[in-house]
Amino acid sequence: MQFTLSAILASFVAVATAATVPVSPAACAQADRFGDITIEPSTLSPGENFTVTANFTCAIQLGVNPEHTDYYIEVPTNNNGYEPPILIARRTLATPPIDSFNATLPYANYFANASYAFVLDTTYAVNGTNGSPYSQVGETETSITITN
């Protein structure tokens, strides 16, 4: 096998270039840009305690730096107009990238056979066209089951 000087130099350049290319962080889905939320347990009755955990690792990697978070229970589809969102908590993110807390399901008017969602609204700042900041809100949700 015969190597030419140009082939050897090309190999060194390829290796050096590969060493300087940054390795991207774990791939984050655009669906996670406002946070990833879990509720444990996800089947609840009024008065029961549950744990909420919101992970903002991917949100931060995708440029969304949460300032405030609002957590609601909503009927996302087929809402008959009598089921407004129920605010569970309004928080300021204290220990990024994780927000975790315990809550109690309120004794509200829940409807049999309704599909409920636990919703996370994430408020974050972006810069406007003139460079001044303003706030935007993004939303993500997970299903929960409420039994009476």
- Confidence (pLDDT) at 26: 61
- Confidence (pLDDT) at 81: 72
Structure tokens at 27: 């791939």
| Rounded Cα–Cα distance for residues 53 and 122 (Å) | 13
Give 77-112 pLDDT, tens digit per residue: 877 777 889 999 999 987 779 999 999 999 998 888
Asked if 109 and 121 count as a contact pair (C-beta separation under 8 A), the reply is no
Read off the pTM. 0.78
25-41 burial: b if 16+ Cβ within 10 Å, else e: eeebeeebbbbbbebee
Greatest pairwise CA separation for the chain in angstroms: 82
- Confidence (pLDDT) at 113: 79
Extents of the domains making up the chain:
29-146
Q: Does residue 59 surpass a pLDDT of 50?
A: yes
- Average pLDDT of the chain is 84
What fold is seen in the domain 29-146? Immunoglobulin-like (2.60.40)
